[in-house]
Structure 1
Amino acid sequence: MSAESRFFEPYFETMPRDELRELQNRKLRRQVARGYSFAPAVRELFNKLGLTPSDIRTTEDLQEKLPVMSKDTVRENRARTGDPFGGFLAVPEEEVYTVQHSTGTTGLPTFIAKTRRDVEGWITREYARHAWAAGARPGDRVLVWGYYWHAWLKDGNDRGFAATGAQVWEFSSMPTPTDIERLHMIASAVRFNAVNHGTLPMFRWMDYVRSRGLDPRREYHSDEWKFIRTEGDMLTEPVRRYSREFWGTLHLDASGGGDCVVATAENREQVETGNTKGLMIWEDFFFTEVVDPKTKEPVADGEKGEYVITPLDYEAMTYFRWDYEDMVVKDSSRDVSGRTHATLKYLGRTVFGAVVRGKHITQRDVEEVLYSFPEVMLKPWQFIRSSKDLFKEEDKLRIRAVYDPNLTKDPEELRARIARALEEKLGVPAEVEWIPEEEVRTLPHKVYKLYLRQS
């Protein structure tokens, strides 16, 4: 691949959408036949519905005839049968090259089996396309910080950046204070060209730098980095602007989905030109749809919903209409870079939200307002809800949050200002309460943004 090319795989990345749909249908028919033949859970589902593989010829057939599936389907099958893969493994177990696990943000983790052909084929290609679109090129030193909790993501990023010809500097740890110190020492000693990082660990690194009065441009030459790219939690525009000032370089958003090894990411042309629609997903590897979180019926482009994935090249596992339990807005129009694949604007975990007086308020809705206040920038916060049921209507948007005491002169005045801003922006009554940071449930990769309290 020429370093001057805008695309890692030009033909596939710019494929006309009618050709893309034909390719999806061909791959879908193959996956349906494989699943029915080799995956017990798929055969059981088809038999229960009175279907055969010949009934699913197109993505329209898929949406019309198969239900949306959740992680609970795998968990229930696993408990019932003792099969760790819940009956969805479509290759002999001796062909499984590696097994990793999902993050378990919303429940018991599910297991991610991959064959060597999966790992060395489409998985490396999807990550390499994103790495190239971010700006990675042969000879670049890229610091890739991942942690074992996200092993599938770390592995994909390492392979993707390496496939571009970049030199991958691996840093594997949990985001503990000791490891942040180690990261500081590494970044101080080595002149990197780019950094790929978990979102919450990046926040902690920034806190480390701020608390010690360090200048990242002097310490790490961060203004010479081509980009920072973070994943694990969304990047809102206030945080992107803050990060650009802090590090002196472009900050790109990326994410993924463990169970189907989905990788989504912004490309630098989107961000540089101010045409950020969301994170691109490679639709030659996945059929992507968005459904109403309550009815599970498909919604149109531009409408809020949960995104649902059907992998089209996954050899080890055969999942159909897998619900990722994340809220997005899909846009299938051509990207400013010329890529033709859809983008997904992440709105947050479905469970991290609230329905207030008929309005579905998402994580992004809150963070776009909350993180416009310097006193709470990068600090954790949570929705307060009265029920696990997202659709139980609340009379008021309630959040609890943490403020920076070094930047806050009057906590009560700040609390009132943030509540007013939320009300004006979101059009619902809002209430903010302050809590100590140690009260917030924090996972290694993100803050758990829901707190249940009986009203």
Structure 2
Amino acid sequence: MPADAAFGQGRPFREGIWDERETWSRDRLAAHQREALTAQLAYLAAASPFYAERFRDCGFAPGDFREPADLGGLPFTTKDDYRAALDAELPTRSRLLACDPAAVVRVHFSSGTTGQPTPTYWTRADLARWTDLYARYLYAQGLRPGDRFQCMFGYSWFVGGLGATYAAERIGALVIPAGNVDTKRQIETIFRYQVDAVIGTPSFMAHVAEAALEGGRDLRQSRVRLVGLGGEPGASVPATRRRLAEAWGAEVSDCYGSLEFQPIAWDVGDGLGPALTEDFFLAEVIDPETKRPVADGTPGVLVLTHLDKQACPLLRWWTGDMVVRRRVESPDGRTHARLEGGVRGRADDMLIVRGVNVFPTAVEEVVRAAEGGTGEYRIVVDPALADPVSGSLNRLKLIVEAGPDAPQDFVERLQARVKEQLSVRAEVELVEAGALPRSVHKAQRIVRL
């Protein structure tokens, strides 16, 4: 597919808005999605061995496509499908690859936390699109030419670091590609080079702020005014957001993406929730049980379809992320739908406690809002606390760090707050500050025994 000449120009549409597409009317956006999907489906049928076979098996003729609802009869594409499509000897021969392998100029890998790391590919046009979308959102969050931008996402294997680096350069910022190592040097660089904006995972940003105070430096006295957070759902957890905003003395923004779709939805400075990139993909929100679409305002799993990806386009990709979508128009003219409250959690991480659905992000909100705690915690999924018949947990088990100023009744207060906010009982084990390991990448706060 030809690259869109509009991408990669590096010029903002107007102050605060990078791309005119962000302000298209809902009707124009829907027309764009229909037109792009028509072309993308034809491309998949001709160039993707995986989807060509899937279309034949389902009796789906891309030429019969008229509306996005027509995709409803096609199966979702899952991580298992992705792994099965890889060639065992040479993964670049994936059956999901839809371009000449010689046109692939970049490969990034999944973290491998649930199995063998899997690759995703980009052509030059894909990279230009990716960079422009990242620039769109960094610009919306306030990054400007001449700003000093310290990228604290990892660069080793992780996808986020290079995307943020290229986007900040596109805007015209001075980029410091710091990665997520050497905390002491990170802090020194922020102050010495008068950094204006940073980006990283919530866990690493919390760790850096904590280390700075321990070393006698207060990040609130730095020049940092913008903190971008991605890689974990914490940025949209109000208590986590407040803690980090206070620790850094800066505006905190959620930056949601995945290896397969870069980016998905980022805050744009209006407080309405992360804005979906609806000119880059079609978004569906699906009930995880019935596998049917849900109405706006109803929780469901986000399912995405590329509109113009070349190297590894995906159709009805099951993200596994629970979200609530709202179609609202921002006062500044932005029209793309929002994810209310960001990512609520992973569908497969949802816990059932005496019949109540509990997401880890809800637990995080309660724990981090508790006065006297450090904000560090673990959720322990202990089979000994489960009903032998239903498998549902009888209560939550939490390991929580208490700070030096924690009140004597900290446990009782926290248990009462859990009961009040989540409608479940909690067994709380206190540990001293610093007892739980810190993460410099993606924190794993659920422990399964």
TM-score (norm 2): 0.89
Q: CA deviation at 1:80?
A: 7.0
Pairing partner for 1:340 from 335, 343, 356: 335
**Separation in 2, partners of 1:256, 1:437:** 32
Q: CA deviation at 1:105?
A: 4.1
**Pairing partner for 2:213 from 203, 210, 213:** 210
In structure 1, the residue matched to 2:256 is: 255
Matched, 1:424 2:434: no
CA deviation profile, 1:89-116 (whole Å, cap 9, x unmatched): 1001000011011223444332110001
SS state of the match for residue 138, structure 1? coil
* Matched residues, number: 432
Q: Do 2:375 and 2:401's aligned partners in 1 also have CA atoms closer than 8 Å?
A: no
Question: RMSD value over aligned CA atoms?
Answer: 2.6
Q: Which residue matches 2:127?
A: 119
Deviation, structure 1 residue 202: 0.7
In the TM superposition, residue 130 of structure 1 has moved relative to its aligned partner by 0.2
Is the Cα–Cα contact under 8 Å of residues 304 and 319 in structure 2 kept in the other structure? yes
Gaps of 5+ in 2: 1-10
Name the counterpart of 2:7. Answer: none
Aligned to 1:8: 18
Report the equivalent of 1:94: 102
Q: Given that residues 380 and 397 in structure 2 are in contact (C-alpha distance below 8 angstroms), is that contact kept between their aligned partners in structure 1? A: yes
Kept after mapping to 1: 8 A contact 2:367/2:375:
no
Number of the residue aligned with 2:48: 39
* 1:25 paired to 2:34: yes
Tell me what 1:283 maps to.
278
CA contact (8 A) 2:240 2:364 kept: no
1:371 paired residue number? 368
Checking the alignment, whether the CA contact within 8 Å between 1:382 and 1:400 is kept in structure 2 is: yes
Find out whether 1:144 has 2:144 as its counterpart: no
| Aligned counterparts of 1:442 and 1:291: Cα–Cα separation in 2 | 34
Checking the alignment, whether the CA contact within 8 Å between 1:130 and 1:267 is kept in structure 2 is yes
Letter of the aligned partner of 1:373 in structure 2?
A: A
2:368 partner letter: Y
Structure 1, 401-410 or 49-58: larger mean CA deviation? 401-410
Judged with a 3 Å threshold, the aligned counterparts in structure 2 of structure 1 residues 184 and 431 are, in CA distance, closer, same or farther, namely same
Superposed displacement of residue 394, structure 1: 2.0
Alignment-mate amino acid for residue 193 of structure 1? D
Distance 1:144 1:394 in 2: 42
CA distance in 2, matches of 1:442, 1:118: 35
1:372-391 → structure 2 map (5 Å cutoff): 372-384=369-381, 386=383
Residue pair 1:299, 1:305 contacting (<8 A) in 2 also: yes
Pick closer, same or farther for the CA change 1:91–1:149 going to 2, 3 Å: same
Counterpart CA distance in 1 for 2:178 and 2:18 is: 25
Residue by residue over 1:189-233, the C-alpha shift from the partner in whole angstroms, topping out at 9 and shown as x without a partner, is: 111121122221111101202323432234xx2xx4331111111
* Structure 1 residues 145 and 114: CA distance shift in structure 2, 3 A: same
Q: Does residue 403 of structure 1 match 2:401?
A: yes
Change (3 A) 1:21 1:440: farther
1:241 aligned partner, one-letter code: R
Which of 300, 325, 329 is the equivalent residue of 2:324?
329
Give the aligned residue type for 2:349.
Answer: F
AA aligned to 1:449 is: R
Q: Does structure 1 residue 184 correspond to structure 2 residue 183?
A: no
How much does 1:437 deviate?
8.7
Q: For 1:4 and 1:17, locate their aligned partners in 2 and report how far apart those are by CA, in whole Å.
A: 20
Q: Which secondary structure does the structure 2 equivalent of 1:142 belong to?
A: strand
Q: Distance in 2 between matches of 1:335 and 1:238?
A: 24
Separation (CA, whole Å) in 2 of partners of 1:57 and 1:44: 21
Go from structure 1 to structure 2 and tell me whether the alpha carbon gap of 1:279 and 1:78 turns closer, same or farther (over 3 Å shift).
same
The whole-number CA distance in structure 2 between the counterparts of 1:443 and 1:366 is 18
SS at match of 1:99: strand
Q: Find the aligned partners of 2:272 and 2:366 in 1 and give their Cα distance.
A: 19
| Residue matched to 1:193 | 196
C-alpha distance in 2 between matches for 1:249 and 1:444: 20
Contact 1:382-1:399 within 8 A present in 2 as well: yes
CA apart distance, 1:426: 1.5
Give the match for residue 293 of structure 2: 298
Range moving further from structure 2, 17-26 or 75-84: 75-84
Whether the aligned pair in 2 keeps the contact of 1:351 and 1:450 (CA below 8 Å) is no
State the distance in 2 between where 1:377 and 1:438 align: 9
Deviation at 1:395, TM superposition (A): 4.2
Pick one of 438, 445, 450 that aligns with 2:446.
450
Distance 1:143 1:331, change over 3 A: same
Letter aligned with residue 243 of structure 2: Y
When the two structures are superposed, what TM-score results if normalisation uses the length of structure 1? 0.87
% of aligned pairs identical?
29
Cα distance between partner residues in 1 of 2:321 and 2:93: 22
Q: Map 1:69-84; keep pairs closer than 5 Å.
A: 69-78=77-86, 83-84=91-92
